[in-house]
């Protein structure tokens, strides 16, 4: 019980980010009889979309949503004074896993080389490449080993976010809402704005004590 109490944020993120996998697994068939091969289930979805369109939709949307969620962690800390590194890391892992799945389905449907045929795919591809080392170093061991370099490495996440937004914007899919949330987060990080929030929070705490 103590473990659950200590890690409940991390556990909630893990459950929330894993649940949609059930929907994804319904749409694919994995065959282990001759190595590993994957095919897309036919008539697995309604809504006038094919299975692969639905897979792009589900994986792409969860990738960008978790990415946006990670970027709200720092503004959330500035406004409310609450932060949890492990929750943030779990969100980062969810972002990378959904992005990689998105890419795996793309390769399965179109082939790897198709990635280099459109600017928006290349932007997404570079974002995925950036997310892989971030995923591999999203743990305590890597943090201890890399020390100050860990933060530097994590700052590449901003490049991945920009490229992902470009990818989605060029595809003409829903991107403005994510850009607005992320943009507001950056405004809150500006030192003058940040200080106002911190002073307000501290004064409120003093008044309540
Ligand atoms: C190699 C990397 C990537 C490739 C090849 C790729 C490819 C695609 C394709 C083919 C679509 C469907 C386009 C359509 O329906 O017209 C799509 C949609 C999308 N992608 Fe990617 N993508 C990549 C990386 C990413 C990344 C890193 C993110 C975000 C973190 C992302 C987020 C999305 C979103 C949000 C959609 C729209 C889903 C929808 O609402 O239908 N993609 N992508």
- Sorted by where each begins, the domain ranges of the chain are 2-26+48-208
Distance 3 CA to ligand 1 centre (A): 37
Centroid of ligand 1 to alpha carbon of 177 (angstroms) = 16
Q: What does the block give as tokens for 58?
A: 């589900």
For residue 47, name the pLDDT band (cuts at 50, 70, 90). low
- Ligand 1 atom 21: the closest Cα is on which residue? 60
134 contacts 160 by C-beta, under 8 angstroms: yes
Helical axes 2-18 vs 85-110, angle rounded to 10° = 30
* CA-61 nearest atom, ligand 1: 35
pLDDT at 28 over 80: yes
CA distance 142 to 98: 22
Task: Give residue-wise pLDDT tens across range 164-189.
Answer: 999 999 998 889 999 999 999 999 99
Q: Which two tokens stand for residue 56?
A: 């792009």
Atom number of ligand 1 nearest to Cα 127:
27
At 38, the pLDDT band (50, 70, 90 cuts) reads confident
Count the residues in the chain: 209
Residue from 171, 176, 179 whose mutation best tests the ligand 1 pocket (most atoms within 8 A of CB): 171
Query: Which class for 90: exposed (0-12), middle (13-18), buried (19 or more C-beta within 10 A)?
Result: buried
- Can you state the percent helix, strand and coil of the chain, rounding each to 5? 80, 5, 20
Cα 53 versus chain centre, distance: 20
Residue 145 CA, ligand 1 centroid: distance in Å: 33
pLDDT at 129: 98
As for ligand 1, residues whose beta carbon falls within 6 Å of it are 53, 56-57, 60-61, 63-64, 67, 99, 102-103, 106, 115, 121, 124-125, 127-128, 164, 167-168, 171, 173
Residues 6 or more apart whose Cβ sits within 8 Å of residue 32: none
Which residue has the least CA distance to atom 36 on ligand 1?
A: 60
Opening angle at CA 11, ends 138 and 202, nearest 5: 80
Of all residues in the chain, what percent carry a pLDDT higher than 70? 99
Q: What is the pTM of this model?
A: 0.92
The predicted structure's pLDDT at residue 131: 97
Residue 55: its pLDDT value, please? 93
Q: For 135-145, how does the pLDDT look when each residue is reduced to its tens digit (9 = 90+)?
A: 999 888 999 99
Q: Among the listed ranges 48-52, 53-57, 186-190, which one has the minimum average pLDDT value? A: 48-52
Per-residue pLDDT tens for 76-109? 999 999 888 889 999 999 999 999 999 999 999 9
């Amino acid at each position: 019980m103590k473990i659950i109490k200590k890690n409940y944020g991390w556990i909630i993120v893990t459950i929330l980010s894993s649940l949609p996998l059930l929907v994804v697994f319904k749409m694919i068939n994995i065959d282990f009889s001759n190595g590993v091969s994957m095919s897309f289930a036919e008539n697995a979805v309604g809504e006038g979309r094919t299975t692969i369109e639905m897979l792009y939709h589900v994986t792409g949307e969860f990738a960008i949503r978790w990415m946006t969620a990670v970027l709200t962690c720092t503004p959330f800390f500035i406004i409310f004074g609450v932060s949890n590194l492990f929750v943030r890391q779990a969100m980062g892992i969810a972002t990378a896993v959904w992005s990689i799945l998105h890419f795996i389905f793309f390769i399965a449907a179109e082939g790897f080389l198709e990635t280099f045929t459109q600017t928006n795919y290349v932007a997404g591809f570079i974002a995925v490449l950036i997310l892989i080392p971030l995923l591999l170093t999203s743990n305590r061991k890597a943090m201890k080993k890399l020390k100050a370099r860990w933060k530097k490495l994590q700052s590449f996440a901003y490049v991945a976010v920009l490229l992902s937004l470009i990818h989605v914007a060029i595809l003409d899919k829903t991107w403005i809402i994510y850009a607005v949330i992320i943009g507001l987060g950056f405004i809150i990080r500006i030192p003058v704005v940040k200080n106002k929030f911190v002073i307000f929070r501290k004064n409120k705490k003093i008044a309540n004590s």
